[in-house]
Amino acid sequence: MSKLIINTIWIGAITLFLNGCYLRQPDFINGQTAPDFSAKLITGETLKLSDLKENYVLIDFWASWCGPCRRQNPKVVELYKKYEHTSFKNAKKFIVLSVALEKKGEKPWKAAIEEDNLYWKYHILDESGQIAALYDVSAIPTSFLISPNGLIIGVNSTDREIEEVLRPFVK
């Protein structure tokens, strides 16, 4: 009888820990201003998120070692392919900004970008986790859809949900 109680307590504690630390949604909600940041791109250029205003921006937090992230990458690529040359009524472009939370440096990150054909130009390596902390990212993959005026309009949205947001603004 005591083993059953102890096992139940352990399972409950593990569930609370996972829900509280790893599986919880970021604290941001639709309509909040996206936190600005400055970071070095894979090209060596410095980018501020605010430089991308007037565009729809999908910030995609991922890592080369993350299986769910790598399985999600083809969907992000398809979404980007569909909207990269689209004209919008209220925005210049649709941009994907990949933020990688790598543990082993640049080499696996760059290899994964190539293997998964993440061919857009906005890639950031966030080894320190500062950008992830700014966005309250505690699990990956995590994504934020940012409106042309810098507001968060989607958190962990599916590709269909993103398309539903974009579709009414396509010219």
| pLDDT the model gives residue 31 | 81
Q: ∠ at Cα 74 (65, 70), nearest 5°?
A: 10
Per-residue pLDDT of the chain (171 residues), as tens digits, is 566 555 555 554 454 444 443 444 566 667 889 999 999 999 999 999 999 999 999 999 999 999 999 999 999 999 999 999 999 999 999 999 999 999 888 999 999 999 999 999 999 999 999 999 999 998 999 999 999 999 999 999 999 999 999 999 999
CA–CA dist 39, 159 (Å, integer): 26
| pLDDT the model gives residue 11 | 56
Side chain identity at residue 28, one-letter code: F
Give 98's strand partners: 60, 123
Q: With 0-12 CB in 10 A as exposed, 13-18 as middle and 19+ as buried, what is 93?
A: middle
Terminal CA-to-CA distance of the chain, rounded, Å? 66
- What is the pTM assigned to this prediction? 0.84
CA–CA dist 60, 135 (Å, integer): 11
| pLDDT the model gives residue 19 | 42
| pLDDT the model gives residue 26 | 62
Look at residues 122, 133, 101 and name the one whose alpha carbon lies nearest to residue 59: 122
| pLDDT the model gives residue 25 | 55
| pLDDT the model gives residue 105 | 87
Q: What is the CATH number of domain 2-169?
A: 3.40.30.10
Determine contact, residues 122/76, Cβ cutoff 8 Å: no
